[in-house]
Amino acid sequence: METFLTILLDGLQFSSYLFIVSAGLTIIFGVMKILNVCHGSFYAWGAYTAAFFIGKFSDMGMPDAVGFLIIVAAAIAVGVVLGFIIEQGILKYMYQRDEVLIVLATFGLFLVLEDIILIAFGTDPYFAYQPMALLDSVEMGGIIRDVYGLSLIGVATMVAVGCWFLLNKTKWGVILKAVIFDREMGISMGINVPYVYTLTFIGGAILGGLGGAYIAPTISVAPGLGTEVIVLSFAVVVVGGMGSIAGAAIGSLIIGILRALAVHELPQVELFVVFAVMAIVLVFRPEGLFAPAKPRKI
Amino acid sequence: MNKGLLAALAVVLVGGVAFMLTQEKPAKEEVKVEVSEAEDAKMLTIAVPSFLTGGAAGPFGIPAMNGAKMVVDAINKGSLPAPYNTAGFGGVSASVIELDEGGGATKQVAEYRNLVEKRNVNAVVGYISSGNCQALAPIAEELKQFTIFATCGTPRIFEEAPRKYVFRTMAHATADNTAAAMYVKEKFPNTKGYTGIQQNYAWGQDSWRDFDLTMKQILPSAKASDNVQFPKIFAGQYGSEISAISLDEADLVHSSFWGGDLEAFIFQGAARGLFKEKVGVLTVGGTAAYRLGKKLPDGLVLGARGPYGILVKDRDSALNQWFVNTYKNLYGTFPSGPAYQYGQAILAAKIAYDKAGSDATDEQLADALRGASFESFSTTVDMALGGGHQAITENGYGITKYDAENGENIVTEVKFYPATCVMPPEGVNSVEWIEGGMQGAKC
**Which residue pairs from B406-413 have beta carbons closer than 8 angstroms and sit at least 24 positions apart in sequence?**
B407/B293, B407/B294, B408/B290, B408/B293, B409/B289, B409/B290, B409/B292, B409/B293, B409/B294, B409/B296, B409/B310, B410/B310, B411/B289, B411/B302, B411/B310, B411/B311, B413/B187
Which DSSP string corresponds to A50-68?
Answer: HHHHHHHHHHTT--TTHHH
The answer, yes or no, to whether residue A199 has pLDDT greater than 60, is: yes
As a CATH number, domain B174-304+394-435 is 3.40.50.2300
> How many domains does chain A divide into?
1
Beta B395-403 vs B408-417: how paired, if at all? antiparallel
Query: Does residue A138 lie in a domain region?
Result: yes
Find which of A263, A266, A271, A274 to mutate to test the B interface (most B CBs within 10 Å of its CB). Answer: A263
Report chain B's mean pLDDT, rounded to a whole number.
90
Q: Does B292 touch chain A (CB under 8 A)?
A: yes
Q: In this predicted structure, what is the pLDDT of residue B4?
A: 53
- Whether a cis peptide bond, with omega within 30° of 0, leads into A292 is no
Bridge partner residues of B397 (DSSP): B303, B415
Q: In this predicted structure, what is the pLDDT of residue B104?
A: 87
Q: Give the integer Cα–Cα distance in Å for B368 and A10.
A: 56
Query: Does residue A134 lie in a domain region?
Result: yes
**Which residue pairs from A157-164 have beta carbons closer than 8 angstroms and sit at least 24 positions apart in sequence?**
A157/A16, A159/A19, A159/A20, A159/A23, A159/A207, A159/A210, A160/A19, A160/A23, A160/A245, A160/A249, A163/A23, A163/A27, A163/A245, A164/A245
Q: Give the integer Cα–Cα distance in Å for B222 and B116.
A: 50
Chain A residue with Cα closest to B258: A220
Q: List, in order, residues 6 or more apart from A113 with CB less than 8 Å away.
A: A38, A41, A44, A45, A82, A226
Q: In this predicted structure, what is the pLDDT of residue B21?
A: 43
**CB distance A49 to A267 below 8 Å:** no
Q: Give the integer Cα–Cα distance in Å for B82 and B316.
A: 15
**pLDDT confidence tier of residue A2, bands split at 50, 70 and 90:** confident
* Mean pLDDT calculated for residue range A154-163: 96
The answer, yes or no, to whether residue A129 has pLDDT greater than 50, is: yes
Report chain A's mean pLDDT, rounded to a whole number.
91
The parent domain of residue A157 ranges over 23-222
Are B37-171+315-392 and B174-304+394-435 in the same CATH fold? Answer: yes
**CB distance B227 to B248 below 8 Å:** yes
Q: Give the integer Cα–Cα distance in Å for A170 and B80.
A: 72
B37-171+315-392: CATH architecture: 3-Layer(aba) Sandwich (3.40)
Chain B residue with Cα closest to A229: B235
Query: Does residue A183 lie in a domain region?
Result: yes
Which residues on B lie below 8 Å from A270 (Cβ)? Answer: 229-232
**CB distance B346 to B50 below 8 Å:** no
Which residues on A lie below 8 Å from B21 (Cβ)? Answer: 119-120
Find which of B237, B272, B333 to mutate to test the A interface (most A CBs within 10 Å of its CB). Answer: B237
The SS3 of residue A1 is coil
**Which residues in chain B come in under a pLDDT of 50?**
1, 6-7, 10-11, 14, 17-19, 21-29, 37-38
Q: What is the pLDDT of residues A51-74, one digit of tens each?
A: 999 999 988 988 889 999 999 999
Q: B227 and A264: CB-CB below 8 Å?
A: yes
**pLDDT confidence tier of residue A77, bands split at 50, 70 and 90:** very high
Query: Does residue A182 lie in a domain region?
Result: yes
Q: What is the pLDDT of residues A241-267, one digit of tens each?
A: 988 899 999 999 999 999 999 999 999
Q: A81 and B13: CB-CB below 8 Å?
A: yes
Find which of B267, B275, B278, B295 to mutate to test the A interface (most A CBs within 10 Å of its CB). Answer: B267
Q: In this predicted structure, what is the pLDDT of residue B40?
A: 58
The domain spans of chain B are 37-171+315-392, 174-304+394-435
SS (H, E, C) chain B: CCHHHHHHHHHHHHHHHHHHHCCCCCCCCCCCCCCCHHHHCCCEEEEEEECCCCCCHHHHHHHHHHHHHHHHHHHHHCCCCCCCCCCCECCECEEEEEEECCCCHHHHHHHHHHHHHCCCCCEEEECCCHHHHHHHHHHHHHHCCCEEECCCCCCHHHHCCCCCCEEECCCCHHHHHHHHHHHHHHHCCCCCEEEEECCCCHHHHHHHHHHHHHHHHHCCCCEECCCCECCCCCCCCCHHHHHHHHHCCCCEEEECCCHHHHHHHHHHHHHCCHHHHCEEEECCCHHHHHHHHHHCCCCCEEECCCCCHHHHCCCCCHHHHHHHHHHHHHHCCCCCHHHHHHHHHHHHHHHHHHHHCCCCCHHHHHHHHCCCEEECCCCEEEEEECCCCEEECCEEEEEEEEECCCCEEEEEEEEEECHHHHCCCCCCCHHHHHHCCCCCCCC
Query: Does residue A283 lie in a domain region?
Result: no
Q: In this predicted structure, what is the pLDDT of residue A222?
A: 84
Query: Does residue A271 lie in a domain region?
Result: no
B144 C-beta neighbours (distance < 10 Å), count: 14
Q: How far is A135 from chain B (nearest CA, A)?
A: 10
Q: In this predicted structure, what is the pLDDT of residue A66?
A: 94
Q: Is A15 exposed, middle or buried (0-12, 13-18, 19+ CB in 10 A)?
A: buried
Q: In this predicted structure, what is the pLDDT of residue B117?
A: 95
Q: Does B259 touch chain A (CB under 8 A)?
A: yes
Query: Does residue A62 lie in a domain region?
Result: yes
**pLDDT confidence tier of residue A295, bands split at 50, 70 and 90:** low
